[in-house]
Amino acid sequence: MNVWSAVKTVMFTGATLLFFFVIWIYNPFSPHEEYELPEEAEQIINDPKFAAEGRELFKQNCASCHSLRYDGIYLASVAAKPEWSKVEKTQGKPILEEKDGKLVVRGYFVPRDVYEAVAVQDLESLKATFGKVPPDLSTYYLARGPGYLYQFILDPGRVLPGTSMPKLFMPEYDKEATRKVAKIVAYMRSVSEPPPGEKAKRTLMGMVTIGYFLVMGVLIWIYRKRLLSKMGY
Amino acid sequence: MLRRIVDWIDERTHARDLYREQMIDYKVPKNLTFPYVFGVLALITFVIQIVSGIILIMYYKPVMAHAFDSVNYTIMKEISFGWLFRHIHAAGANFFLAIVYLHMFTGIYYNAYKKPRELVWMVGWVIYFTLLTTALTGYLLPWGQLSYWGTVVTTEIPASLADAPILKSIFAAIGETISIWMKGGYKLEDLALGRFFGLHVLLLPLVLLALVSVHLFLVRAAGISNPEGYEIDKKNEPEKLAPFHPYVTLKEGAVAMGYLALFFFFVFFNMSHFLPADNFEPADPLKTPPHIAPEWYLLGFYEVFRSIPSKFWGFVAFNLILILLLLLPFLDFSPFKSARRRPLFFIMFLVFLFSSMILTILGTMAPTPTNAQLGMFFTFLVFLFFLSLPVISFLEWGWYKARGGRS
Amino acid sequence: MEASRRDFINIALGGMGALGALGAIYPILKTLAPSAASTTEAKVEIDIDSVPELNVRVTSWKGKPLFVLKLPPDLSQRYDYKVRKDLKNSAGKLNQELLGDKPVFALIGVCTHLGCIPLWKPEGSDAVKAPYLHCPCHGGLYTPWGDNIGGPPPRPLFVPPQKIEGNKLIVGEPGFVEQLV
């Protein structure tokens, strides 16, 4: 390999790696919005033990307008309907959680069209009040991110001017307000992300898989070298 | 015992003869460079997509009311390892297109589209086009905001024919007809989702399988190209050749392992680009997301399209680039092969490569007037590359004749 | 030295290859495994008070129809079912021996002939002047405990593992019936 070859190799390899880095890993040119997350809130959000409390706070404060079907939470007015528990049992799939070593039913996942059919009046009246149906929040932790969610719940009008979502938490009057919002976000995170035990398993799986392929690559290379030298190439 | 089974099969299939003929007796030049591995990596990625796709199709529901949940609840949360196969399939789609682009640029650099390999190139072009269609149809399936609106943008592009300077009504009718037929109606609903699903899951993979088989057959029929640009003669220079197995097979095997290590790094630890946040919001036909653009593998074409003020000429421009790509073997009729020995071609190749990369990156940026000006400049450079090919060929024919017909 | 080093790499490659194949197949097979939700199908609890007497409550257990019957305690004395005593369940006994004295019990509501779901006839009929189970497909006849009276079925109705706990009948856990018979 002469100098010119080396130059070409470096140029093409470098350009390719740089291109894919920008496109796939971090693009400094494309528009990014950053939503600030104060440290205390970040600590609460990253701590899975606040998820249970967050779930209760969600049911009290959010479920009057928002469902979260992936964890079996439906519009409060719909869940209160007498036929709802029949609907859940016949049309829904149980969502299980482990409690004291046994699997218990935490709620039911009801398909969207079944839920929207049973809830059609309630959803229409929400639409009349707010202009649009407040969305189901099951995947919103992934769609918006913790910073956005925290800032939005604390002050919807500031983050999304013109939104019809009211301000529900008043830090000026409630000392716990910011912590409550963080706990709700912590709960939403627990619906979208696997629990820390499972996360650790996946990390380990990843490292083992990558390590395996690297070792296999080296082994094949050595095997080939030996085979070729034996064959005289 | 194993030997007895292999003997039994060999008596009935002559598999050993085939093996010896295709793996040992088949000789390949020893100077093949690293980029020659991209073809095999593309094949491996194809297999990964098929296997992961088979798992996903068991649980995915191609109905508007259930599509999003079947992916984000059933597959991602309910089914054991469902998340892993979804990650593999999403990352695989992106890797497949990246490798195919690298493979195409390699072919262009080494002039692997010239005689006797014009058909290889053209079948490859059809594969590229089919692959883009497969990616587009697949992207709609999760039915997220980006899936829905990205497809709306794509199916509306033919409607830009209505901006034609002449025969406006005819072009408008054609454009609208194409747009409506793609969707199966005026809106993207269950009919569109159903047909995109059928295309993505059955028809297009079968077409790809057939095309790739033809492509591989043609590669073997014409022989693998050479980075130096001249065909190595088995009889004259036998020392420059080595048996396909183990020289090439194990080299590609080792590189494939490294590729898979890189692939699985993304699968486990860096999916944020392949599963963009906005697509975790279920599709809402009444709300367009603030940043909507096609995926990176179409952004270059998209930037060309949106930089040109007239929608009609933008549409013509990016389709022209595709057609020029198909006609490469005929645009470049120079007797010389390989950028290694063609300094003028080498320079224009660099222009083309960097313009394509820059156009793609410009596509990720907001559509400001500066962006459009830069877009038009680099579009011009891309067309310059294609137009320079016949000019360079003409010059090089002159040099070829002057050298008495020697390369 | 040369030979053993080469053999080592052969073995290493072969072993790693096999490991890789297993590692790839494992998650594929696991996606096919029954989901956690389906484990809830394996146990059913029925409130004894909710079943009226001489009545059958139909529900499901492990995907099959489950008949929960509550019979008056003197039923077996009142009627003389001409039980086919030669047709026994998997434990080699008649169902009545297992279930006759229980206030409430469960049977798998699938005819043992060709799989239709029998009908409960509490009033009896011209053919059988007593409460009985009648399969409409080919005329199989069973006592309220599932033993054969007549027709083509080759054995009594299946009895799932079950136990009584307080005022609940729990099907799917061993109790007065330990396993499926």
Q: Is residue C119 part of a domain?
A: yes
Give residue B384's pLDDT: 97
Whether residues B51 and C28 touch (CB distance < 8 A) is answered with yes
In a domain, C160, yes or no: yes
C88 lies in the same domain as C148: yes
| Cβ–Cβ below 8 Å for B55 and C31 | yes
CB contact under 8 A, A223 and C19: no
Contact B257 A31 (CB under 8 A): no
B301, B321 Cβ separation under 8 angstroms: yes
The dotted CATH code for B29-287 is: 1.20.810.10
For residue A111, which residues of chain B lie inside 8 Å, CB to CB?
Answer: 65-66, 69
**CB-neighbour burial class of residue A119 (10 A; exposed 0-12, middle 13-18, buried 19+):** buried
On whether residue A226 sits in a domain, the answer given is: no
Regarding whether C91 and C24 lie in a shared domain, the answer is no
Query: How many of the other CB atoms lie within 10 Å of CB of C155?
Result: 16
Nearest-CA distance from C5 to chain B in Å? 19
Quote the CA–CA distance of B15 and C75 in Å, as a whole number. Answer: 75
Nearest CA in chain C to B78: C35
Tokens linked to B235: 């009889």
Q: Report if residue C179 sits inside a domain.
A: no
Q: Distance (Å, rounded) from C-alpha C77 to C-alpha C75?
A: 5
**Do C45 and C25 sit in the same domain of this protein?**
no
C177 within domain boundaries:
no
CATH 3.40.50.2300 fits B293-407, yes or no: no
Residue B374, classified by CB atoms within 10 Å of its CB into exposed (0-12), middle (13-18) or buried (19+), is middle
Q: Are strands B241-243 and B27-29 parallel, antiparallel or unpaired?
A: antiparallel
Q: Check whether residue C113 and residue C29 sit in a common domain.
A: no
Position B293 scores a pLDDT of 83
Q: Which stretches of chain B drop beneath a pLDDT of 50?
A: none
Check if B29-287 and B293-407 are the same fold: no
CA distances from B356 to B121, B309, C121 (A): 19, 20, 79
Cβ distance A71 to A95 under 8 Å?
yes
Please list, residue by residue across B19-34, b when 16 or more beta carbons sit within 10 angstroms of its beta carbon and e when fewer do.
Answer: eeeeeeebbbbeebee
Note whether C41 and C62 are within 8 A (CB). yes
In chain B the first and final C-alpha atoms are separated, in Å, by: 55
Same domain, C77 and C27: no
Q: For residue A228, is it within any domain?
A: no
pLDDT at B240: 85
Same domain? C166 vs C96 = yes
C134 and C103 within one domain = yes
pLDDT by residue (tens digit) across C85-143? 899 999 899 998 889 888 899 999 999 999 999 999 998 888 888 899 999 999 999 99
Identify whether B165 is preceded by a cis peptide bond (ω within 30 of 0).
no
User: Which one, of A111, A116, A108, A117, lies nearest residue A88 by Cα?
Assistant: A108
Residue C10 half-sphere exposure, CB side, CA atoms within 13 Å? 7
B60 is written with which tokens? 């995915």
* DSSP-assigned states of every residue in B297-360: HHHHHHHHHHHSSSHHHHHHHHHHHHHHHHTHHHH---S--SGGG-HHHHHHHHHHHHHHHHHH
**Domain count of the fold of chain A:** 3
Q: What is the DSSP string of A92-113?
A: -EEEEEEETTEEEEEEEE--HH
Closest CA to C143 of C112, C171, C115, C121: C121
Q: What's the domain count of chain C?
A: 2
DSSP codes, A147-188: HHHHHHHH-HHHHSTT--PPP---TTT-TTHHHHHHHHHHHH
CB-CB contact of B74 with B199 (8 Å): no
For residues B138 and B365, the answer to whether their CB atoms sit within 8 Å is no
Same domain for A130 and A141? no
Tell me the three state secondary structure of residue B123. helix
Reported as a single tens digit per residue, the pLDDT across B189-248 is 999 999 999 999 999 999 999 999 999 999 999 989 999 988 877 778 888 888 898 999
Q: Which residue, among C71, C81, C91, C94, has the nearest Cα to C141 in the 3D structure?
A: C81
CB-CB neighbours of B406 under 10 Å: 7
**Could you tell me if C29 and C43 lie in one domain?**
no
A92 and A127, same domain (yes or no): yes
A214 and A178, same domain (yes or no): yes
Nearest to A93 by CA among A115, A75, A77: A115
pLDDT at B296: 94
Please give the span between the terminal C-alpha atoms of chain C, in angstroms, as a whole number: 65
The pLDDT assigned to B239 comes to: 83
How far is Cα B306 from Cα B181, in angstroms, rounded to an integer? 23
Residue B158 pLDDT: 84
pLDDT at C1 over 60: no
Residues C78 and C119 in one domain: yes
- Are C13 and C100 found together in one domain? no
Give the residue from B344, B351, B341, B401 showing the smallest Cα distance to B379.
Answer: B351
Do A168 and A56 sit in the same domain of this protein? yes
Under a CB-based contact definition with an 8 Å cutoff, are residues B279 and B144 in contact? yes
Say which residue, C80 or B194, is predicted with more confidence.
B194
Tell me, what CATH number does C95's domain have? 2.102.10.10
Is A24 near chain B, with CB under 8 Å?
Answer: yes
How many Å apart are CA C155 and CA C115, to the nearest integer?
A: 12
Which of B37, B78, B241, B280 should be substituted to probe chain A, the one whose Cβ sees the most A Cβ atoms within 10 Å?
A: B280
Q: Specify if C180 maps to a domain.
A: no
Q: How many CB atoms lie within 10 A of CB B284?
A: 15
Distance CA A222, CA B246 (A): 12
A180 and A87 in one domain? no
State the chains in contact with B (3 or more Cβ–Cβ pairs under 8 Å): A, C
A229 within some domain: no
Q: How many CB atoms lie within 10 A of CB B197?
A: 20
Same domain, A173 and A187: yes
Co-location of A55 and A165 in the same domain: yes
pTM of the model: 0.90
Domain assignment present for A230: no
Q: Is B73 on the interface with A (CB under 8 A)?
A: yes
Put simply, whether B267 touches A (Cβ < 8 Å) is yes
Q: Which two tokens stand for residue B402?
A: 């002057």
pLDDT at C6 over 80: no
Residues of chain A contacting residue C23, judged by C-beta atoms under 8 Å apart = 209, 212
User: Does residue C178 fall inside a structural domain?
Assistant: no
Q: Which of A65, A38, A34 is nearest to A177 (CA)?
A: A38
The C-alpha of C12 sits at a distance from chain B's nearest C-alpha, in angstroms, of 15
Confidence at residue B182, expressed as pLDDT on a 0 to 100 scale: 83
The span from the CA of C12 to the CA of C3, in Å, is 14
Cis ω for the linkage preceding B116 (within 30 of 0): yes
- pLDDT by residue (tens digit) across B292-339? 888 999 999 999 999 999 888 999 999 999 999 999 999 999 999 999
Cβ distance of C9 and A222 shorter than 8 Å = yes
The answer to whether residues A145 and A131 belong to one domain is: no
**What residues have CB less than 8 Å from B21, skipping those under 6 apart?**
none
The answer to whether residue C156 sits within a structural domain is yes
Which residues of chain A are within 8 Å of residue B366 when distances are taken between CB atoms? 30-31
How high is the pLDDT of residue B355?
Answer: 97
- Is residue C139 assigned to a domain? yes
Rounded Cα distance between B269 and B265, Å, is: 6
Domain encompassing residue A179 = 33-62+137-221
User: How far does C13 lie from chain A, in Å, by closest CA?
Assistant: 7
Verify that A52 and A110 share a domain, yes or no. Answer: no
Q: Per-domain residue ranges for chain B?
A: 29-287, 293-407
- How buried is B343 (Cβ within 10 angstroms: 0-12 exposed, 13-18 middle, 19+ buried)? exposed
A135–B contact, CB cutoff 8 A: yes
Domain that holds residue C134: 39-171
Assigned domain for A227 exists: no
pLDDT for residue C2 is more than 80 = no
Q: Are residues C70 and C21 in the same domain?
A: no
**Which pLDDT score, from 0 to 100, does residue B386 have?**
97
**Helix-helix angle B244-269:B38-57, to 10 degrees:** 50
Put simply, whether A67 touches B (Cβ < 8 Å) is no
Given A85, A108, A136, which residue is the final one in a domain?
Answer: A136
Contacts of B382 (CB under 8 A, 6+ apart): B304, B321, B352, B355, B356, B359
Check CB contact of A105 with chain C, cutoff 8 Å: yes
Strands of the sheet with C141-142, listed across from one edge: C119-121, C132-134, C141-142, C148-150
User: What is the residue-level pLDDT of chain A in tens, covering all 233 positions?
Assistant: 689 999 999 999 999 999 999 999 999 988 788 899 999 999 999 999 999 999 999 999 999 999 999 999 999 999 999 999 999 988 999 998 887 777 788 899 999 999 999 999 999 999 999 999 999 999 999 999 999 999 999 999 999 998 999 999 999 999 999 999 999 999 999 999 998 899 999 999 999 999 999 999 999 999 999 998 888 87
Contacts of B261 in chain A (CB under 8 A): 210, 213-214, 217
pLDDT of residue C50: 87
Phi, psi values for residue A119, rounded to 5°? -95, 10
| C-beta atoms surrounding B239 within 10 Å | 7
Judge contact between B329 and B113, C-beta under 8 A.
yes
C7 and C63 share one domain: no
Which of C2, C9, C26, C38 is the best substitution to test chain A (most A C-beta atoms within 10 A)? C9
Q: Specify the 3-state DSSP secondary structure of B80.
A: coil
Distance from the A128 Cα atom to the nearest Cα atom in chain B, whole angstroms: 16
